[in-house]
Structure 1
Amino acid sequence: MVRLTERYAVLVTANLGTVLGKAVTILRAFRPDDNVLPLAELVRRTGLHKATVHRLAGELVANRLLDRVDGGYRLSGGLFELGMRASVERSLLEMAMPFLQDLYERTHETVHLGVRDELDVVYVVKLGGHRQAKSPSRTGGRNPWYCTAIGKALLAHADAELVHEALSMPKVRRTPHTIVAPGILRTQLERVVETGVAFEREESALGITCVAAPVFGIDDEVIAAISVTGPTGRFTPEAHVAAVRAAAEGLRSTVGRRERLR
């Protein structure tokens, strides 16, 4: 009897894992520019059976992870609530906001706070005013490390094995200025370590340039990076190096004080 019960538990757990994986696949089928996706498109993107997608989408609606609207489904506010409960990013956001706001007031250009997720940059914050440059970034979005100043700032201080992996990965040119040569990228990463800042010059999108600085934690590991982005016509990234460094150092000090009080 015990063996049968244990076997049943294993089967149930495996089935739950499969269901969970399929539900996540449905949620991840939504791309940054998507608003509403028809059921047929969810089926096409996920490769799941239509009946499975229909059933799981209904469960996701019931749990406020999807909304059922005219024309199909859209991501629900419940996902935003869960995201804001992510303890690391939330506490980092709370500590960073005063420095990001000060940086915006000093530059009046688009300000980002980003963290590394494997070999991508994930944007935790994007602040910009009425004249902000059009860029491919968005809060909660991601970009490859090699075409962003934040990505280079995050990778420059990583361990040698991760840097090697990052340099060896296949790279897609986002613009004619995207740097994909491992040797040039390695030189740029070494320069980031020397100077404390990284640059992007129309590498993720045409018409924008950027400067970023890493934010170190209490153990001297990079936990985030801060950047300022502006249009190439009026923005000179070198002119904002001191401001970006000051914001990153201010956040580092705040993180250190918070950690020492724990």
Structure 2
Amino acid sequence: MDMSDEHGMSVTDKVLALLGAFSHENPALTLTELSRRTGLSLPTVHRRAAELVAWGALERGPDRRYRVGLRLWEVATLAPRGFPLRDAALPILQDLYDVTKEQHIHLSVRDHLDVVFLERLSAPGAPQADSRVGGRFGAFATGAGLVLLAHAPDDVQEEYLSTPPRRYTSNTVTSPARLRSLLAEVRRDGYASSDRMVGPDVHCVGAPIHGAGGLVVAAISIAFRAGSQSPQTLAPAVRAAARRVSRVLRE
């Protein structure tokens, strides 16, 4: 954004722009960096950042860099699709890990066209994964992603299918017709199997978690080295774990 556009922004827009400047790759920023990343003038950044520090949304360290504050984390824990869902699912995720000992187990939700990771359990020595708690993955080629897209409203599915998906590997399904068929299979079978669609050696199996009214609110998935296990062998355990979380949410 050009600084000349700043005058057309509301105070809320400016505050949200400042908060949105932080990322996993850039967790600590100076005033100058905040100004450059948001397009806001230094005086505006200084004034709004001071207000955010006073409220607790940002913290300023001895190095004069700003970081996300604990007060913002406290507010984030109130998101119903965040920590409450994670707390309900965590013991069951741990049981699933204990039974399967697979490389990565994820709890994920859909936020429009992104998959957001709420929890990840990883085996010792497991390969580094692109997923992190609180992180987003703009792809529905994973096991969890296919589950969440298969149960998304029709307009969300059509929006996703209207733009050619990114091809991660030669196995990534990008044809709208094939994707529609694959999503129908997920709904029919009760689980998704993503065979090397996001990585050359990664196979994922995911299953839906149902909330109130039977709506799919999240997904549990297992990521394992392709060829080391049969997805048909792991699918019953993943589906059983998802059903257990669903029952907890409905209690």
TM-score tier (shorter): 0.7 to 0.9
Distance 1:182 1:130, change over 3 A: same
Asked whether the 8 Å contact 1:40–1:50 carries over to 2, the reply is yes
Distance in 2 of aligned mates of 1:242 and 1:158:
23
Deviation at 1:161, TM superposition (A): 2.4
Q: 1:95 aligns with which of 78, 82, 88?
A: 88
1:176-191 superposed matches below 5 A = 176-191=170-185
Distance in 2 of aligned mates of 1:50 and 1:225:
43
What's 1:156 paired with?
150
Question: SS at the partner of 1:27?
Answer: helix
What's 2:28 paired with?
36
Larger radius of gyration: 1
Distance 1:131 1:84, change over 3 A: same
Distance in 1 of aligned mates of 2:74 and 2:225:
33
What's 1:171 paired with?
165
Which is richer in helix? 1
Structure 2 gaps of 5+ residues are 1-6
Question: SS at the partner of 1:146?
Answer: coil
Asked whether the 8 Å contact 2:115–2:140 carries over to 1, the reply is no
**Cα distance per residue 1:73-92 (max 9 Å; x no partner):** 22223322221122343332
Deviation at 1:113, TM superposition (A): 0.8
What's 1:79 paired with?
72
What percent identity do the matched residue pairs reach?
39
RMSD: 2.3
Query: Could you state the TM-score of these two structures normalised by the residue count of structure 1?
Result: 0.83
Distance in 2 of aligned mates of 1:42 and 1:137:
26
Distance 1:57 1:106, change over 3 A: same
Query: Could you state the TM-score of these two structures normalised by the residue count of structure 2?
Result: 0.86
What's 1:11 paired with?
none
Structure 1 gaps of 5+ residues are 1-14
Q: 2:222 aligns with which of 225, 228, 235?
A: 228
Distance in 1 of aligned mates of 2:57 and 2:170:
39
What's 1:52 paired with?
44
Question: SS at the partner of 1:219?
Answer: helix
Distance 1:44 1:199, change over 3 A: farther
